[in-house]
Amino acid sequence: MKSHNTEVMTVNPDEGVESHDETISNALPVSTDRAEIEISQDAQADGVGIGDPITSESEEARGLVVQGTDAVASAHRGSDDLNAASASTFGGIEQHRRASATPGRWLARGLIVVVLIVAVVVSILGLRFYNDASGSSGGKEVTVFVQPGSTLSDLANVLASRAVVGSAFDFKLYLHLHHAPILEPGIYYLVTHEAFSKIIASVAHGPVSVRLTVLPGSTLTTIAAQVARLHGHSAQAFLAAAQPSAFYSPYFVNARPRNLEGLLYPDTYFIDPLESDHQIIKTMLDRLAQIASSVGLRPTGSYHGLSAYQILIGASIVQREANLPSDMAKVARVILNRLAAGMPLQMDSTVRYATGNYSGPITTTQLGSTSPYNTYVHLGLPPTPISAPSATAISAMLHPANGSWLYFVALRGHAREVFSDTYAQQEAAIAAAGGLG
């Protein structure tokens, strides 16, 4: 059989379709008619006519063409399938990459948002803490009482409730960051919206003391009323506590007084308002002992026939009767002269103490009062002092002026008293002055 000079294509499963004389793309569009002519020409060359039956050789040639065409189509389909598979594979990978990237991206964004929120909150709290700790000017004074057993945490809550600090938490935090002072019970004077540093300085300094001033000539009732102004105290409780049996003083050991009248020394005291009545009374008793000793009054001594306690009684009358300190020694001399003469003292101050009339004129009824303190009715000294004597009054009883006076009176227009030996001299002095002062 004659071989063909022209090979159309070769299909290599490993290398794909390879074109030798013409590309597959140029071979596929050849029309059927041309193909038949070419086949016919080849057939005529081999002695085969158009109408003759196709031989096995021509069938083989046609088979090669068909096989080539099928291979090309198959190659195209394989390429399309490969591209589709590749597209599907890479698309899946891209979709998977995007799907796996989405949670991470949202987590990162969430973390950023959280950090920003925390930063804003911290900034706001930090600014509030700074403003609160710095305080402001123009605050109002606040009195804070710290009870025994209170802690700094308790103080922070109280300060917040009184607007001394804006936040109890901020103040506690400030205490934690700084050296916390020791909190002592007592009274503290602070200011609303005060700087934390100033509050701590006040606490470190300790509670302030309250000034309690007892004037010379004050009675036990008057002192009780003054103490009642302190936080946590009352006049009734103070008077109930002022029992001689609850205290010791060398100046009334032998006297056995019925009360502590005249034994609480008149002075200015700086006390803690949280002190008990007992502590306040003891402080005043101790002060009297100190002053009495300094002017020469010994507890067991005898002075002008009087005991130390009786000297204090006389001094309490001198304190109420003398208008001026310079007259006290003369008033003391009148008291001693009358006692020596066995005369009633007839001191108005004792009647006022007995009746409680400290301002109005003394009535005839009051002059006739049977109270043991009425020296118009009873001889000698009253049973207890009638007021709190000063050091000057005590010294006047110890060192009275020299004189024989038995009377004295305050005249109209005169600050000083006039002293007389007889009642007639006193009446004449009153008439000359135009009346009593």
Instruction: Give me the phi and psi of 316, to 5 degrees please.
Output: -65, -35
Q: What percent of the chain has pLDDT over 90?
A: 49
Return the closest-CA partner of residue 249 out of 88, 385, 408: 385
pLDDT digit string, tens, across residues 158-208 = 999 998 998 899 999 989 888 889 999 888 989 998 898 899 998 998 888
- Which of the four pLDDT bands, split at 50, 70 and 90, describes residue 54? very low
Q: Quick check: 389 pLDDT over 80? A: yes
Topology of domain 141-205, CATH: Dna Ligase; domain 1 (3.30.1490)
Which pLDDT does position 422 carry in this prediction? 95
For residue 232, is it left (φ>0), alpha (ψ between -120 and 50) or beta? left
Which percentage of the chain shows pLDDT scores above 70?
A: 72
Burial class (CB within 10 angstroms; exposed 0-12, middle 13-18, buried 19+) of 168: middle
Q: Examine the pLDDT at 395 and tell me if it is beyond 90.
A: yes
Token pair belonging to 408: 């004295």
pLDDT at 68 over 50: no
What does the DSSP assignment read for 159-194?
HHHTTSSS-HHHHHHHHHHS-PPPP-SEEEEEETT-
Structure confidence at residue 61 as a pLDDT band (50, 70, 90): very low
- pLDDT, tens digit (0-9, with 9 covering 90-100), for 254-281: 788 889 999 999 999 988 878 899 999 9
Residue ranges covered by each domain of the chain: 9-110, 141-205
